[in-house]
């Protein structure tokens, strides 16, 4: 295992005051630049000296990257808007309560005051082998240490594993996918808008990264359309402790119901695969069906088809099945 140190390696710190200035720095340094917002993921890496960087581009002085505004019945949220602001914002709570609920369950109050929405969806894998500097597939090696007979893999993937079995650790990511959000990504001379579902990158596509961001690009905003505003929302997170911990499994759903019949649904599960997992088969299966315990049970069974648990995370299969069923039933801490 790699040695752990408390002293950060040397790097140049830049604190641009505009997006254009930040983009020029990212273009100049390329892969040698590290973008930092709240810093919670960054400081873990740099303190442990597991990763090094030539330059840190700190975004705290860029006012245009923060804030929440209403646009065409939906919302545009700056990437450096804190999780606390999102969880407490009256419009988010009233019209898009799914995101407010998810943001309010991230980590602890202190971390939510500092952590940002862009950072929460863009954080790196939390597998302790990778974080400790073991030469795994994701770090450029030729083995997944978490997928061996003696591995500690209680928190790893049960679905869609491809060499790496680390999971997406974000709480807000499933909510954004369920809300059909888009992420605005800028680089010098251009902008692209990526659906939230496509922002997250699995190991089968590129095992060295978790998101679609390239080294010279900056996530600037998250756009949530009006389509699911005021729908019936459900978010539930299961974790070891009721504060600070990352999810063992979380589920986010947006549902439209009429006369007891499910008209349409988007449902996404986190911490079971390398990316937030949208359950399209479940969405199709329940559309047009009555919202009954039988429909919920059917959805739960369908959700876990094909699951392949590791040595120590078999509990995630019934946990995921039950959370999906609860999201369909609407039992527990539903938010509308």
Nearest to 53 by CA among 12, 25, 6, 24: 12
Cα distances (Å, whole numbers) of residue 288 to 240, 299, 329: 36, 13, 15
Q: Does domain 230-335 have CATH number 3.30.390.50?
A: yes
**What integer pLDDT is reported at residue 50 of this predicted model?**
81
Same CATH topology for 63-122+167-227 and 230-335: the answer is no
Pure H helices in the chain? 19-29, 40-48, 83-88, 90-95, 97-104, 109-114, 117-122, 128-131, 172-178, 196-199, 280-286, 293-303, 316-329
Ordered by start, the domain boundaries in the chain are 63-122+167-227, 230-335
pLDDT tens, the chain, 336 aa long: 455 556 788 999 999 999 999 999 999 999 999 999 999 999 888 887 788 899 999 999 999 999 999 999 999 999 999 999 999 999 999 999 999 999 999 999 999 999 999 999 999 999 999 999 999 999 999 999 999 999 999 999 999 999 999 999 999 999 999 999 999 999 999 999 999 999 999 999 999 999 999 999 999 999 999 999 999 999 999 999 999 999 999 999 999 999 999 999 999 999 999 999 999 999 999 999 999 999 999 999 999 999 999 999 999 999 999 999 999 999 643 333
**What integer pLDDT is reported at residue 6 of this predicted model?**
62
> What CATH code would you report for 63-122+167-227?
3.30.465.10
**What integer pLDDT is reported at residue 336 of this predicted model?**
36
For residue 330, count CB atoms less than 10 angstroms from its CB and return exposed for 0-12, middle for 13-18, buried for 19 or more.
middle
For residue 60, count CB atoms less than 10 angstroms from its CB and return exposed for 0-12, middle for 13-18, buried for 19 or more.
middle
Contacts (Cβ under 8 Å, ≥6 apart) of 194: 182, 183, 185, 212
Map residue 250 onto helix, strand or coil. Answer: strand
Nearest to 234 by CA among 332, 319, 316: 332
Contact 39, 120 (CB under 8 A): no
- Chain centroid to CA 210: how far? 10
> Is the pTM for the entire model greater than 0.85?
yes
Distance, in Å, from the CA atom of 258 to the CA atom of 25, rounded to the nearest integer, reads 51
């Amino acid at each position: 295992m790699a040695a752990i140190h408390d002293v950060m390696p040397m790097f140049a710190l830049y604190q641009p005051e505009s997006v254009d200035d930040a983009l020029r720095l990212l273009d100049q340094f390329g892969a040698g630049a590290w973008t930092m917002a709240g810093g919670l993921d960054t400081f873990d890496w740099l303190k442990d000296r597991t990763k090094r960087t030539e330059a840190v581009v700190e975004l705290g002085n860029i006012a245009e990257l923060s804030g929440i505004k209403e646009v065409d019945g939906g919302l545009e949220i700056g990437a450096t808007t804190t999780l606390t602001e999102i969880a407490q914002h009256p419009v988010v709570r009233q019209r898009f309560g799914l995101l407010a609920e998810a943001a309010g369950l991230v980590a602890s109050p202190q971390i939510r005051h500092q952590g940002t929405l862009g950072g929460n969806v863009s954080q790196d894998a939390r597998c302790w082998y990778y974080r400790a500097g073991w030469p795994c597939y994701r770090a450029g090696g030729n083995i997944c240490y978490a997928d061996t007979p003696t591995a500690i893999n209680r928190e790893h993937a049960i679905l869609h594993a491809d060499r790496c079995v680390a999971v997406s650790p974000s709480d807000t990511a499933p909510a954004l996918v369920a809300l059909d959000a888009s992420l605005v990504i800028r680089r010098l001379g251009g902008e692209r808008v990526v659906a939230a579902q496509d922002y997250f990158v699995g190991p089968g596509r590129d095992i060295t990264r978790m998101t679609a961001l390239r080294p010279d690009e900056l996530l600037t905003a998250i756009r949530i359309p009006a389509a699911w505003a005021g729908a019936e929302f459900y978010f539930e997170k299961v974790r070891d402790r009721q504060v600070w911990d990352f999810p063992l499994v979380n589920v986010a759903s947006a549902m439209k119901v009429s006369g007891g019949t499910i008209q349409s649904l988007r449902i996404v599960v986190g911490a079971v695969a390398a990316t937030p997992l949208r359950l399209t088969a479940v969405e199709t299966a329940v559309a047009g069906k009555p919202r009954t315990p039988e429909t919920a049970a059917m959805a739960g069974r369908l959700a876990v088809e094909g699951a392949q648990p590791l040595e120590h995370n078999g509990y995630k299969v019934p946990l995921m099945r039950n959370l999906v069923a609860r999201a369909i039933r609407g039992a527990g801490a539903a938010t509308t």
